[in-house]
Amino acid sequence: MKKLLGTLIALILILSFIITTTSFAVDIKDKISSMEITNIESGTYKTGQTVEIEIATNGVDSFPQSPYPQLVLQFGSSPERTVDLNSNVETNSLNYSYTIQDEDIGVLKLKTLVWGDDVNTDLTAVTVPLDKTIIANTEDDNNTSQDGLTDVSNVTFSWSIENSSRYPYLYINNINYDEDKDYYAFMSNEKESFDLSQYTTGSAWNDAGWQSLRADYSHFTEKNEVVEKNAPIYVWIAETYYNDEESKIESNMLIEAREIERPEQQPIGSRLKGYFFEEYSSTFCYEPYSDERNMVINYKIGEVTDINILRSIQNGESDCLEKLMEYAKSATNGKTGSLSLGDSDPIVQDLNLKNDGYYYVYMEVDDGDGTYYPIEDVSLYQACSTDTVLYLCDYLSDEFKWNLPEEGGTITPDGNEDNTVATGMLPQTGVGITLLVSIIAISGFAIYLLRKNKKFKDIK
């Protein structure tokens, strides 16, 4: 009997450990407010070379115990790789080392931190600084340095959003500019052919769509008409100079139709924005689009009754808007319609808003039957009121006021709050109900056996 009791107690301890480690992973993951790359060496890496990556996390002082997160990364369209944490260092930085393999080709992308089953942190919003572009095993016959030509063997490309614009600029790095030459770059969705001899002046290059490059201006300004398309993006770079010996202009193609990675989209909540008032509706797009495009935004608006999602947004959890996106797309209570980009007719009068209620606004840009790169976004709104009307205010605005019930309360589908508070400790996010039930059942069975043993211990 004592042996059986010892076995049951061991099972309880094991299940408790599983819950503790699972809870730790979820708790730490939810505390991370932001991440940034703090140490990484730029350049082109070949098979067998090692890339060292350091990720600083804000909101967490240290990672004092397992499980430690694995880093998932990818070069171009090569297979995704999972990398273990370097060492058990109690700091707020995560250090990883990855050795390049033959199949790794293209620009490095950080994908996710993996803590365990279904406990991930998205890293697509982490931007590698412009001077820290990492490329693996990129080969391009057009980029081989030749006598007399500008060396472009180490050229890399990186996207950045300038402070003066919400749209990405493409930076061209590591060109050894010759002060006696002029340089031009071209971007397109198609692999085009060019006769460079026809461009004899700077204006001729510009009129043909080429953009001037120089050491202090080595980037494309907005090329939204290319980036907005759901198609590959190709870049050309050419040089031109006056040959004194032959008394003529000479032009050479340095890079021809190199396909580059498209820029990452803005984080969820920052791609599209809508304002919904009594007099009008107004929509804005912060992803690349051309002025000539007649953009139409399809919307879906409905009430949010899942208090867990609302608390996630209120607490600023890193994946709160991803949760809201999933909720909105699967919801059946939404009103749908479409708006032209910019100012449109008001729609709030058709939404049957409830004062202080919480609403999702899911928006998706019409992609023209696949012509344009897809754009979708979501945000949380509240029905705010004036003396006579209700309108929607975004959760980031000063007018938005949280009025959630106490911990354990719910929001019923009719918009009323149920403040009934559950007694006892609620299970933490990520802890399985099965584990808790198992612990309770085993504990009860152990107590039962103990009592039975005590009752009959003197019976021979």
pLDDT per position as a tens digit, 165-186: 678 889 999 888 999 999 999 9
CATH number at residue 102: 2.60.40
Residues with Cβ within 8 Å of 226's Cβ and at least 6 positions away in sequence, in order, are 187, 188, 189, 233
Q: Is the domain of 233 the same as that of 199?
A: yes
Closest CA to 28 of 406, 307, 432, 428: 428
Q: Within a domain: residue 266?
A: no
Chain position carrying tokens 């208090």: 307
Could you give the CA distance from residue 43 to residue 51 in angstroms, rounded to a whole number? 10
Q: Are 315 and 380 in contact (CB under 8 A)?
A: no
CB distance 367 to 298 below 8 Å: no
Q: Do 280 and 411 sit in the same domain of this protein? A: yes
56 in any annotated domain: yes
Q: 13-69: per-residue pLDDT in tens?
A: 555 544 444 444 455 666 666 677 776 776 778 888 898 888 877 766 666 555 678
Find the helix or strand (DSSP H, E) in which 310 lies.
helix 307-314
Binning the chain into helix, strand and coil, the percentages to the nearest 5 are: 20, 35, 45
DSSP label of 417: E
Asked if 348 and 288 sit in the same domain, the reply is: yes
Regarding pTM above 0.85, the answer is no
User: Among the three residues 116, 136, 156, which one is the final residue of a domain in this structure?
Assistant: 136
Cα–Cα distance, 389 to 333 (Å, whole number):
22
pLDDT at 146: 46
Is the domain of 285 the same as that of 408? yes
182 and 115 co-located in one domain:
no
Give a yes or no: residue 51 inside a domain: yes
Flag the least confident range among 312-326, 361-375, 431-445: 431-445
CA distance 78 to 72: 12
Token output for 384 = 């705010």
Written as one letter, the residue type at 388 is: T
The bridge status of strand 81-83 relative to strand 134-136 is unpaired
Report which residue type is found at 160: S
Residue 24: domain span? 1-31+430-460
Return the closest-CA partner of residue 339 out of 271, 278, 282: 282
SS3 232: coil
Domain boundary among 103, 136, 169: 136
Whether residue 60 is found in the same domain as residue 4: no
pLDDT of residue 460: 45
